[in-house]
Structure 1
Amino acid sequence: MRGVVYGRSLDFRPLPPGPDVLSSPLKLSDVDYVQLPQKGWRDHLRLFLQASGLTSIPISVRLRWQAHEVIDWLQSSLLARGRGKRGSITHPVQLMSAIEFLMSLPADLEIERRLLHTLIGRGLIEYRKRISTGRERPMLFAKEATSHFMAGFKEQQLLSKSGSPAEQFQTIQRIYTSYYFFRAYYIFAIISREPPESGGKLFSKFMRACFFMSTIQDDGTIAPKPAYRQLPPKEQVVFLAKRDVALQARLREDDALRTELQNLLRFFRSVRG
């Protein structure tokens, strides 16, 4: 049932606050443009045959073509060069589709992963530099993530005290928005390789936020159990866990934590299976 509160449904793609949006799009001048191979006539023939149901293309080949399309889009948007459709990037959340694709790529596409990581990482660093200049103080994604998490967590603790259905709907929207941007900024911190001391135990907060967000339904109510299809794919969770320096340091010293993490990963589905 959707929109029980005055015909409304939850906003699952909230916009960033105005002060966090750049006045002009991101442009990178210190990243080299990479010329990617274009599809030949044989590739187009294979696509036609697959669309006709006469053959199938290996998943690694399809993913490589998709990666090249994402790289082309990033280069057109951030370098103003290339064949891709140009986007106007004024906030990192506009890069989330490319980031999620990067986090889900298999290891055998390492070249494409490096190119994607370089473009996205440099874009995040440039955004952080420009926002810091505007604020006249250093900005770190991990600290922004912590702030958003605490805002959502405080609202979540007060959820049972919400009065009318309309008031509860607004509270859940605020919680979702806070956790949405917490999750995004935590990912930005990992991709841009911020120092581990800039945010403590953010991975455990990430897991907590993901599970709670998966209980929020379209109509702004809370389901009794998580909707596991609403959780991020296992590949993305593993990507973050492997690159979270603070988490890796804890895992080396805490066998119980490592076992707990392995058990939690059972609840996350694979993006390709």
Structure 2
Amino acid sequence: MSNIKLIIEERAADIGKFMVGRLLPFRQKRMVGPFIYIDHMGPVKLSERDNFDVLPHPHVGLSTLTFLFEGSIMHRDALGNEVEIKPGAVNWMTAGKGIVHSERTPEYLRDSELFMHGLQIWVALPKDLEQMDPQFSHITENEIPRWTEGDVQFKLVAGEAFGKKSPVPVFSKLFMLEIKSKTKQTINIGNELYGESSLYILEGAIESEGNVFEPKQLLVAKDSTLCEFTIHENSTIYIFGGEPFPEERFIDWNFVSSSKELIEDAKTKWDQQLFDKIEGDDTEYIPYPVPRNFRIKS
């Protein structure tokens, strides 16, 4: 990977119950392709008195991708979906013009100790789809394309790459790859990717041009080819990216859009509790935070 442009270190962010490691957005790189938000969640041990409870909250203009390594989350949304997210599966919720969802420890685990570890990701929608009707898909682990080259295991979590396509119903050209190796190997991505790309080290290390990069780092490439790098033994990495959008994106709390006016409308609608509610989980919610001053540009 001889074309590293930027190294982004995980930064601590408080999401209520525990701290996460924030990778995107970053002041010097707001998006990588359509990926606008990436949090590394955990690993953290939750006691029987400290369950994972993210109260009902809204989104517009984006798709959320939840991918767990450990733990379990019960997803509920205003479309009526109630699905338990388990390690290796992909939870893909497209907010479009607006949706409310909650994420909680499943009832059968609420009196147990629980480890939580995974990635929470937002993918911005193309401008012409920002106001689409909300949708939801849950892709099980065995539906995700996977293949092996020597000692290296590949998994195409979302998007298209290497002549393969994930069943996750994305709305723009993107890729999210998992690469695992138990032995030290040289990997040549070549020109299989496109647009922008970045490489996240979950565990282990990679080596490029004599430099060793370790966990909690997102390496942003100058171009998508990523060229060649060495993955160390017992390593797991993720490669994110895709075609960037021609328009800038704004982000304010849980709202993403190419239009500031649409974000203001969403904020007002949430303040007045005009979003559709989650049946069976509608007695509490996360209020819009004050002050209203968080915006990014891509």
Both proteins in one fold, TM over 0.5: no
Q: Whose strand proportion is higher, 1 or 2?
A: 2
Structure whose CA Rg is larger:
1
Task: Give the TM-score of the pair, scaled to structure 2.
Answer: 0.22
Q: Whose helix proportion is higher, 1 or 2?
A: 1
Task: Give the TM-score of the pair, scaled to structure 1.
Answer: 0.23
